[in-house]
Amino acid sequence: MDLESYFNIHKGKLDLLSGGAPCQAFSYAGKRLGLEDARGTLFYHYAVFLHKLQPKSFLFENVRGLLTHDRGRTYKTIFDIFTAEGYKVQAEIMNAWDYGVAQKRERLIMVGVRKDLTDRLWVEMPQPHDYKPVLRDVLIDVPKSEGTQYSEQKRKIFELVPPGGYWRDIPEDIAKEYMKSCWNMDGGRTGILRRLSLDEPSLAVLTSPSQKQTDRCHPLEARPFTVRENARCQCFPDDWEFSGSVGQQYKQVGNAVPVNLAFEIAKKIYEGLERM
């Protein structure tokens, strides 16, 4: 079966189209050309599937920065395309820490319902939980797994940083030598030589475990988190298998939507579809 035949068979019948895509600035942004505004970007392919399949609802996830990317024009183009395709759209910034995830990770969540169904189908976004876990809740008895290590020099410097601290908490001469040109940057630079504490959530899990301006050192040991420790911060079950090299596994974990956050959103969409 070719793709067009698939579209024709399933058009209007699917309950949900779910996904996300890197969203570069659109060269035609602001010209209101519909799908043409997104041509040449990965978002275009998501929009084509939405156009061809016309599902009852859709879920689109992206980083918080999409709201201000290209002075807000990228987000506006996406929102306008969703609306032009016949969907009522609600968008919300959701922090994973509010939904049972031991991690501060903000994501833009966009949920759309086909306009001809809004009298029967609506989605209530999940409410934040009272319980907000910290690293102490997820870093106990973590299965052993592969992980990268700091250089010997960097490890010795991190041994000077207390849990919950960063470069300001070590001797200035050592911090200045380590930071080099970053020393003269504006802002607090709180991600540099950042060592997490067991009594706080993780910062957003990244695709690379050791970058100078976005360090997330283990609270108890002078090293980055292992793949499995990052997976715990993302709420993956311990038996979930990641594949490829260590670097590829870090990327798989870091690019994922936190499992508990995804579950809470999916549950609300399911409840909406069940009401129909």
Domain boundaries, the chain: 3-129+258-274, 135-254
Catalytic residue among 23, 217, 233, 235: 23
Report the chain's terminal Cα–Cα distance, integer Å.
31
pLDDT score of 33 more than 80:
no
pTM, 2 dp: 0.90
Q: Is 233 a catalytic residue?
A: no
Residues sharing a CB contact under 8 Å with residue 107, sequence separation 6 or more, in sequence order: 61, 62, 63, 64, 93, 94, 96, 257, 261
Average pLDDT over residues 125-145: 96
CATH 3.40.50.150 for the 3-129+258-274 domain, yes or no:
yes
Average pLDDT over residues 161-183: 95
Residues sharing a CB contact under 8 Å with residue 263, sequence separation 6 or more, in sequence order: none
Whether the Cβ atoms of residue 90 and residue 124 lie closer than 8 Å to each other: no
- Residue 248's pLDDT is 97
Q: What percent of the chain has a predicted confidence (pLDDT) above 90?
A: 76
The H or E element containing residue 62 is strand 57-63
- Residue 212's pLDDT is 79
Which of 126, 47, 115 shows the shortest CA–CA distance to 82? 47
Q: What kind of fold does domain 135-254 have according to CATH?
A: DNA Methylase; Chain A, domain 2 (3.90.120)
> For all residues of the chain together, what is the average pLDDT?
92
